[in-house]
Each structure stands twice: as structure tokens, then as C-alpha cells.
Chains A and B, each alone.
Chain A
């Protein structure tokens, strides 16, 4: 089982604040890194799938970077809105396993 760590565990910010979270994973045998957003009472939805070292992806106000050599990824949210309130999960995949391993997530709450 991969050791996946996400920090912080939870975060409360005000509307308009920018924020970022960290996902750490083993750098050896890296294959891909997924980010998912999971809103309360809904199903997790994919944000990004990243494979290349130095990769940067963006979707609206959310962006992510990937460092496969040191084993971490950052997720950034610019100008947080209440609708960004959710749990953000990262899930790396290595070459030795067919499945993802999910971190325990960062729970974000954005106060209006």
C-alpha cells in the first residue's frame, strides 16, 4: 500500500482567500497522480490526472502542479468561493499496481 499524505487535514478560509494543499507520495515507480473533489452528498469528481514531472494543470480557479522526483503535488485555489467547499482527494498510482491509492483528503470550508 502506498503511503499517501495530504495536508492540512482541514482548512477554513474566507471567501476570496487563495489557498493550497499538499499531497505527498513515494517518488519511486511513479505512474500518475489524480486529484478529485468530493462535495457533501455527491460523488467524487475528477479534477486532474497528471503524469509528467513539472506538469501544471488548470481548471478555472483551480490549478495543480506535480513534482515526481520529490514525490509531491500542490493544489491551488485562487479566490475561494463557498461552492469550493469540499474534500479534495489525491490518489497516486505507481507502476507496480493497477489501482490508485487515495489519501485521506483535505476538507475545505469557505465562509461567505
Chain B
């Protein structure tokens, strides 16, 4: 079974902190994605990566950056956390245009 894991299920940070969310997949997928989910807004794409060191902005990249140094790991970085980044963050991976496999999510609260 494909497994996508995320470093934390729940995280509480303070405004201005630098926050790292990590995602690891074990199926050698070349594509990895970071989404955030807010009530009534569905899943919105923040960034994705289609290969090691390759990244592309999604629909809401402002305030975020990403890193993919190894194929299995994709990190989302909040350079200076703000309260409007309080959200559920989901990581996913896929092979080509096939179905995406999602991690369990990280619920981030920024105080």
C-alpha cells in the first residue's frame, strides 16, 4: 500500500515563527503536492513538485516556500507564520496523472 506520512497531526505555533511541515512517501512517486483545506473552500494547491529540486507554484503560494532535496520527501515552509495560515495542511503524491494519495493532514494553529 502507498503510504504518505506527515510529520505532525497537530501543531501550534506563534505569529512570526518559522514552521516546517514535512511529508514523506514510500512509493517512488515523482509528483508531490501541498494543499490547504479551509471550510467551504475545498482543497487549494499551495505548491507542487514534479521531480527532485523541481517545484511549481500552485494557486496560493504567498507566504510559503517548499523544498524537495530527496524524491521521497517534500517540505512546506512557512517563513513567518501568520494567523491567516491557521488551517489543515494536506500532502499528496502521485505517479504521473494517476490518482493522488494523501497523508493524514496537519492541523496548524497560529496564535
Contacts and interface: CB of A to CB of B under 8 A. Distances in A.
Interface string B72-104: 000000000000000000101000011111111
Q: Kindly list the 7 A-B residue pairs having the minimum CB-CB distance in the complex, ordered from nearest.
A: A46-B99, A104-B42, A43-B102, A102-B43, A102-B42, A44-B102, A99-B48
B99 A89 contact: no
Contacts of B97: 31-32, 49, 93
A: contact size bracket: 20 to 34
B56 A44 contact: no
A104 B102 CA distance: 17
A1 B56 CA distance: 14
B105 A46 contact: no
A49 B99 contact: yes
Given A49-B97, A99-B45, 5 more contacts: A36-B100, A44-B102, A100-B45, A104-B40, A104-B42
B100 A34 contact: yes
Nearest to A48: B99
Contacts of B45: 99-102
Nearest to B6: A43
Interface of B: 4, 31, 33, 35, 40-45, 48, 50, 56, 58-59, 90, 92, 97-105
Contact of B104 (A43, A46, A91, A105): A43
A86 to B, nearest CB: 13
Contacts of A89: 42-43
6 contacts: A34-B99, A98-B50, A99-B33, A99-B48, A100-B100, A101-B45
Given A32-B97, A34-B100, A101-B45, A44 B90 contact: yes
Given A43-B104, A44-B102, A46-B99, A103 B59 contact: no
Contacts of B100: 34, 36, 44, 46, 100
A99 B90 contact: no
A74 B50 CA distance: 30
